[in-house]
Amino acid sequence: MRRVAVVGGDGIGPEVIRSALLVLDSVGFAADMVPLDVGFARWRRTGTALAQEDLETMRRCNCILFGAITTPPDPAYRSVLLRIRKDLDLYANIRPFHSSRIDLVIVRENTEGLYSGIEEIGQEEARTVRVITRAGSRRIAAAACQLASRRRRLTIVHKSNVLKSDTLFLETCREEARAAGVSHDDMLVDAAAYNLVLRPERFDVMVTTNLFGDILSDEMAGVLGSLGLCSSANLGERHALFEPIHGSAPDIAGRGVANPVGAVRSAAMMLEWFGLSEESRLVEAAVQSCLAKGMVTPDLGGSCTTEQATACICQAISRGLP
């Protein structure tokens, strides 16, 4: 039996995860769902956001379906997501973006860069160490090349003209692309940000470092119209975590207006990871059908509640689509 750790988390996280679970039920997905209470709300109650036993439970599951987490600017608070990514070695963050004219994937290195966790905080000076290793660059480049080999082209995004550590990343990605026989080019991150707004259709698969990937993917969500539309997979050799790219949005939590599409699409990515390609395609087709009908939440200019948008997706699945 498949086992999936289910983390609602904070803010709108539990709301959108409920939607994802309803959609999974609609396609007949069978698994032992293991709920876990982690995040900022738990930290405020107990002083612990994520316990070691929670990580052990995650390791015993096939993968994790994750909602959203609040990360406060408190030095005593350790980021839940960063800890999970590092402990489970979820080094590849895959973020697809689709619209009528856009079809691109951002592949973000997930364990190094400025999110290395190596920091010194002083009264007059603070330092964060940006870590780029050949091994880390090689494996994220290999993941990106595997995707690009089934598509058109790989673009390596970097800032090696200023950040000399990016020279190692750029050279390693080029080596991997040449070895894989993948058509590739490279672009400075500021130029990539500019072109994502003006000419996003020129991109196919982009590979980049941790912070750049984080920022560029949120920019791409803005180009599409909402963070609430977008999904992601955090992949390692043995484990995986699937989550919408949006945050916990505490300002709208509990109001029933959160966009469930990012979480639903993350569940579809999980289905694909389990080898259930037909079910995954059915979920995405149902999402597209409801978006086309305008059955959307207020972030997209609609008037649907989270529950109504979810019901539209589930109904489209049960009808086999219009």
Sorted by sequence, the CB contacts under 8 Å of residue 60 that are 6+ apart come out as 3
What whole-number distance in Å separates Cα of residue 223 and Cα of residue 300?
12
The verdict on 298 and 181 lying in the same domain is no
CATH label of the domain that carries residue 241: 3.40.718.10
Q: Are 196 and 125 part of one and the same domain? A: yes
Domain enclosing residue 299, as ranges: 1-90+236-322
Query: Within a domain: residue 26?
Result: yes
Question: Given 179, 195, 222, which residue is the final one in a domain?
Answer: 222
245/231 Cα distance (integer angstroms) = 6
Are 102 and 205 found together in one domain?
yes
Q: Do 106 and 213 have their domain in common?
A: yes
User: Is residue 251 domain-shared with residue 300, that is, in the same domain?
Assistant: yes
Residue 143 lies in a domain: yes
**Over the stretch 203-215, which tens digit does the pLDDT of each residue have?**
999 999 999 999 9
49 and 66 part of one domain: yes
CB-based burial, 125-140: b 16+ in 10 Å, e otherwise: eeeeebbbbeebbbbb
Same domain? 172 vs 289 = no
In a domain, 229, yes or no: no
Using one digit for the tens of pLDDT, what is the confidence trace for 125-161? 999 999 999 999 999 999 999 999 999 999 999 999 9
Handedness of CA 257, 230, 16, 24 (dihedral sign): positive
Verify that 248 and 321 share a domain, yes or no.
Answer: yes
Pairing of strands 63-68, 240-244: parallel
| pLDDT more than 90, % of the chain | 92
Q: What are phi and psi of 226, to 5 degrees?
A: -170, 140
Greatest alpha-carbon pair distance for the chain in Å reads 62
110 and 79 belong to one structural domain: no
| CA proximity to 23, closest of 300, 276, 303 | 276
Q: Is residue 227 part of a domain?
A: no
User: Does position 7 have pLDDT exceeding 90, yes or no?
Assistant: yes
Percent of the chain with pLDDT over 70: 99
Last residue in a domain, options 187, 222, 257: 222
Q: Is the domain of 58 the same as that of 141? A: no
Q: Is residue 82 part of a domain?
A: yes
Rounded mean pLDDT, 173-180? 98
- Write down which residue in 166, 200, 222 finishes a domain: 222
Q: Reply yes or no on whether the pLDDT at 322 is more than 60.
A: no
Q: Is residue 249 part of a domain?
A: yes
User: In terms of domains, do 81 and 115 share one?
Assistant: no
Pair (57, 136) in one structural domain: no
Residue 63's contacts (CB-CB under 8 Å, 6 or more residues apart) are 4, 5, 239, 240, 241, 242, 270, 273, 274
pLDDT band, residue 320 (cuts 50/70/90):
confident
More reliable by pLDDT, 299 or 121: 299
Q: Is residue 254 part of a domain?
A: yes
Query: What does the pLDDT look like over 225-278, one tens digit per residue?
Result: 999 999 999 999 999 999 999 999 999 999 999 999 999 999 999 999 999 999
Confidence band (pLDDT; 50, 70, 90) for 56? very high
- Look at residue 78 and tell me whether its pLDDT is greater than 90: no
pLDDT of 321: 60
Q: Is 231 part of any domain?
A: no
Closest CA to 63 of 266, 237, 242, 231: 242
- Total domains in the chain come to 2
Q: Which residues are catalytic?
A: 115, 159, 190, 214, 218
Of the chain, the end-to-end C-alpha distance in Å amounts to: 32
